């Protein structure tokens, strides 16, 4: 595929992640932190997110199987998970995390379990989309959308 | 490049027509050398928050625990801005802030929450923080605070 076309395709992919509400402006902050000294910053940070989060998700899954539920523990895990989701701009994941915390505060186990399914769903969808996006972006090479221009 | 309005919305629209999110925020530089201390246990959050503080012109040291932060200060390090996450592994964020105030730290201290519900700030405020923020730490929010510190 012609290079300009590939560039456009990456741009369109990126824009749709914002338009469809998967990412918020925090992702742009990550892009702003990417420069010649840190050319793969965004992908590295996102990779770190998925690595750390998979552990948290496992912990939450296990905690949700206990009887009775330890809402404090669940809340602490989710607080961490929301923090990192927020840091990469994972908009939908973040919203589900907030919902989960509300159920925790209310001591609503059913609500927590239901919402956590949603958290995992949004998390997985975003992961697939970001993987596809980075794969395309890598093929094209550094682009104007990904790197903060040097002043 | 025309100078941006400091602390306001991003200055430059991307030249790409389909990119609705503006890029090229004009990051400020300060008269004083602003030094920051970031206390956050999550590696991902530390990386991102330190990066953002750096973009905003604050030379920042990042530590993982309240104890490490207190030790730094006890060793004589001084900071213009201290940002502390609420949940830390042993000493909490609020306990860390309180300890710093007891040690005579007069710097601006900001409490950071991954997830904020009304009332969450009570222990931070009681500990003597100047302000608090739900993540993410954004330039738009931080720059006006830094401008005050610079005067």
CATH number (domain holding residue B70): 3.40.50.2300
Tally of domains in chain B = 1
**Is B26 inside a domain boundary?**
no
Plot region of A141 (φ>0 → left; ψ -120 to 50 → alpha; else → beta):
left
Q: What is the pLDDT of residue B14?
A: 35
Q: With cut-offs at 50, 70 and 90, classify the pLDDT of residue B26.
A: confident
Nearest to B96 by CA among B66, B64, B130: B66
Identify the pLDDT of residue B2. 36
- Closest Cβ opposite residue A28 in set B16, B23, B49: B23
* pLDDT 10s digits, A43-63: 999 999 999 999 999 999 999
The pLDDT of residue A1 is: 63
- Domains observed in chain A: 24-30+39-128 (1.20.120.160)
- The answer, yes or no, to whether residue A7 has pLDDT greater than 80, is yes
The residues on B that touch A, with CB distances below 8 Å, are 1, 14-16, 18-21, 23-25, 42-45, 47-49, 51-52, 55, 85, 87, 114-115, 117, 135-136, 138-139
Local structure of B7: helix, strand or coil: coil
The residues near B33 (Cβ < 8 Å, ≥ 6 apart) are B59
Tokens, residue A142: 């550094």
For residue B107, the enclosing domain spans 34-150
Instruction: Give the least confident one: A70-74, B10-14, B95-99.
Output: B10-14
Residues 6 or more apart whose Cβ sits within 8 Å of residue B2? B11
In a domain, B89, yes or no: yes
Contact at CB, A145 and B14, closer than 8 angstroms: yes
Percent of chain B with pLDDT over 70: 83
State the Cα–Cα distance between residues B28 and A57, nearest whole angstrom. 39
Integer Cα distance of A33 and B12 in angstroms: 17
Tell me which residue in A25, A49, A98 faces B115 most closely, judged by beta carbons: A98
C-alpha to C-alpha distances, A96 to A22, A88, B18, B96, B115, nearest whole angstrom? 12, 15, 28, 30, 12
Interface test with A, best of B9, B29, B136, B140 (most A CBs within 10 A): B136
Strand partners, B12: B23
Q: Domain for residue B78, yes or no? A: yes
In a domain, B137, yes or no: yes
Helix axis angle, A71-88 to A25-32, nearest 10° = 60
| A12 contacts on B by Cβ (under 8 Å) | 18
In chain B, the percentage of residues whose pLDDT exceeds 90 is: 75
Task: Please compute Rg for chain A using Cα positions.
Answer: 17
Q: What is the pLDDT of residue B112?
A: 96
Instruction: Grade residue A4 by pLDDT with cuts at 50, 70 and 90.
Output: confident
B28 lies in a domain?
no
pLDDT digits (tens, 9 = 90+) for B112-148: 999 888 888 999 999 999 999 999 999 999 999 999 9
Rounded percentage of chain A residues whose pLDDT exceeds 90? 84
Quote the pLDDT of residue B25. 64
Place of tokens 């998979």: A54
pLDDT band at A141 (very low <50, low <70, confident <90, very high): confident
Judge whether B23 lies within some domain. no
pLDDT band at residue A151, thresholds of 50, 70 and 90? very low
Which band of pLDDT confidence, cut at 50, 70 and 90, is reported for residue A93? very high
Residue B27's pLDDT band, with cuts at 50, 70 and 90, is: confident
Confidence check: pLDDT of B9 > 70:
no
Flag whether B27 is in a domain: no
> Which pLDDT belongs to residue B1?
39
Which residue do the tokens 């222990």 mark?
B123
Distance CA B11, CA A74 (A): 41
DSSP 8-state assignment for residue B1: -
Q: Which of A48-62, A79-93, B21-35 has the lowest mean pLDDT?
A: B21-35
Q: Is the CB of residue A30 less than 8 Å from the CB of residue A133?
A: no
Nearest CA in chain B to A53: B44
B15 inside domain: no
Quote the mean pLDDT of chain A.
92
Residues of A with CB under 8 A from a CB of B: 11-12, 14-15, 18-19, 25-26, 28-33, 41, 45, 48-49, 52, 76, 78-80, 82-84, 86-89, 97-98, 101, 105, 144-145, 148-149, 151
Judge: B16–A97 Cβ closer than 8 Å, yes or no: no
Residue A144 has pLDDT above 80, yes or no: no
pLDDT tens column, A14-42 = 999 999 999 999 999 999 999 999 999 99
Rounded Cα distance between A143 and A7, Å, is 8
Placement of tokens 């730094």 in the chain: B72
Pick from A82, A88, A151: which is nearest to B115 by CB? A82
Which of the 8 DSSP states describes residue B23?
B
pLDDT value of position B8: 39
Residue (of B132, B114, B113, B142) closest to B36 by Cα position: B142
């Amino acid at each position: 595929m012609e290079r300009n076309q590939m560039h456009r395709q990456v741009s369109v992919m990126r824009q749709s992640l914002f338009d469809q509400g998967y990412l918020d402006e925090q992702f742009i902050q990550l892009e702003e932190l990417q420069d010649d000294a840190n050319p793969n910053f965004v992908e590295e940070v996102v990779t770190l997110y998925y690595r750390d989060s998979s552990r948290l998700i496992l912990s939450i899954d296990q905690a949700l199987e206990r009887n009775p539920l330890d809402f404090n523990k669940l809340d602490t895990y989710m607080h961490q998970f929301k923090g990192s989701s927020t840091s990469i701009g994972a908009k939908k994941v973040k919203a589900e995390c907030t919902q989960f915390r509300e159920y925790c505060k209310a001591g609503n186990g059913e609500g927590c379990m239901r919402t956590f399914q949603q958290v995992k769903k949004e998390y997985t969808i975003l992961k697939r989309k970001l993987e596809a996006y980075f794969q395309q972006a890598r093929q094209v090479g550094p682009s104007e959308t990904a790197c903060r221009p040097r002043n | 490049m025309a100078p941006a309005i400091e602390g306001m919305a991003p200055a430059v629209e991307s030249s790409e027509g389909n990119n609705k999110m503006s890029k090229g925020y004009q990051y400020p530089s300060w008269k004083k050398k602003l030094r920051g201390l970031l206390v956050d246990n999550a590696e991902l959050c530390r990386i991102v928050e330190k990066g953002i503080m750096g973009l905003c012109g604050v030379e920042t040291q990042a530590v993982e625990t309240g104890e490490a932060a207190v030790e730094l200060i006890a060793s004589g390090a001084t900071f213009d801005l201290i940002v502390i996450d609420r949940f830390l592994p042993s000493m909490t964020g609020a306990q860390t802030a309180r300890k710093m105030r007891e040690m005579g730290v007069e710097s601006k201290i900001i409490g950071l929450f991954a997830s904020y519900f009304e009332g969450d700030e009570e222990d931070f405020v009681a500990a003597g923080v100047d302000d608090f923020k739900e993540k993410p730490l954004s330039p738009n929010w931080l720059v006006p605070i830094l401008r005050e510190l610079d005067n």
